Amino acid sequence: MTDRIVGVSEDAAALCRADDRHSADRIVALWNGIDVDRFDFRGPAAAPIAISVARLSPEKDFSTLLRAVWILIKEHPEFRLRIVGDGPDRPNLEALAADLDLTEHVEFLGERSDVAQLLPQAGFFVSSSLTEGISLTILEAMAVGLPVVTTRVGGNPEIVVDGGTGRLVDSGSPEQLALAMRDMLNDTDTWPIMSQLARQRIERDFNVRNMVRGYEEIYTELLREKGVS
């Protein structure tokens, strides 16, 4: 019944093709974008602070992130994590943080309207998601100029260049996530380079103007196919 099906990442488009092979020729990928102008390039703060912005729900797997922090602080007791967002998992996550004795290391900020101002107060962004399309919060963090540590799921590898703009790890592994964050903390000299590359990547590939142009091209192509002038 549809003329085009748009996946917001190459991974999403591939999943659509696998689910409906008869529609494969009508499925295209078009990356989500953000309004880059809303996020001033500031670069990372020179501080052992990570920030994560997401809905506190099971697919975001914040329990793995908290367990990674528990591992990390044994070597970096100065580390702090700020979690921005709310959701059904918040009570359980706050209880887990207390059980792991992380109350001095993890701060739950809840819903905030000033994310663009909070991001540059951190040294890097971290995400532990089990699944993603194109994560707008990762795009926003990179637009500000933060290196990113995230899981190798969904569209994340299409955004984050491993070793270039951040680090990619397997999902569901506190050990891998802790190791990647430890490496980030131990190699702050690379943050300015990652910061510049992150901003350049967002401006080039994930600007909302590119997304709008892409949808316009899809509509124009469909109109031509149907003989509409």
Angle (CA) 173 191 84, round 5° = 55
Distance CA 44, CA 122 (A): 6
The answer on pLDDT for 5 being more than 90 is yes
Helix (H) or strand (E) holding 49: strand 49-53
Q: Which domains does the chain have, with CATH numbers?
A: 5-33+207-225 (no CATH), 36-203 (3.40.50.2000)
pLDDT tens per residue, range 43-70: 999 999 999 999 999 999 999 999 999 9
pTM of the model: 0.94
Tell me the pLDDT tens digit for each residue of 154-211. Answer: 999 999 999 999 999 999 999 999 999 999 999 999 999 999 999 999 999 999 999 9
User: Residue 54, SS3?
Assistant: coil
> Residues 10-34: pLDDT tens digits?
999 999 999 988 888 999 999 999 9
Cα–Cα distance for residue pair 139/36, rounded to 1 Å: 9
Token pair belonging to 134 = 């194109």
